[in-house]
Amino acid sequence: MTDARANERERVSHASGAGSPSPRAGVWGSPRGEAPRIKNGRLLILWLALACVVWNGVYDMRMHDAARGYLLETALAQAGLGRGVDMRVAMHRGLVDAVAFSTAWGLGVLLAGLITLRALSNAECRMPNP
């Protein structure tokens, strides 16, 4: 009877994962915390979101500057102090400028994030297990 109880306890403890590594240990990491892979995935999403916000902000600023430049040229033309400019031409130049600058800034932020994540993962790989 005691052997049956011991076998039952052993079966239950193995089924619950007590005393043995979790079957999800390769995916979720050690019981101390999250695996670096999942943490880095979340950080990557945050860096992507930040790059999108930067892209949108820079694009908005450059388009705002293009619209102000067009309005200034139009006001000067109406005052007889300038030749004026076609709206389609001015805004197209502003659009090209805004896309170029915002893409450069967004990619710069994303690159900084990727470099940071790479350094973080390299540092975690070199850390000794306590």
Q: What pLDDT band is residue 14 in, cutting at 50, 70 and 90?
A: low
Question: What's the CA gap between 59 and 92, in Å, rounded?
Answer: 13
For the chain, give the percent of residues with pLDDT over 70: 66
Domain residue spans of the chain: 48-119
Q: Is the pLDDT of residue 34 over 70?
A: no
pLDDT digits (tens, 9 = 90+) for 85-106: 899 999 999 999 999 999 999 9
Question: What's the CA gap between 50 and 106, in Å, rounded?
Answer: 8
Q: Is the pLDDT of residue 37 over 90?
A: no
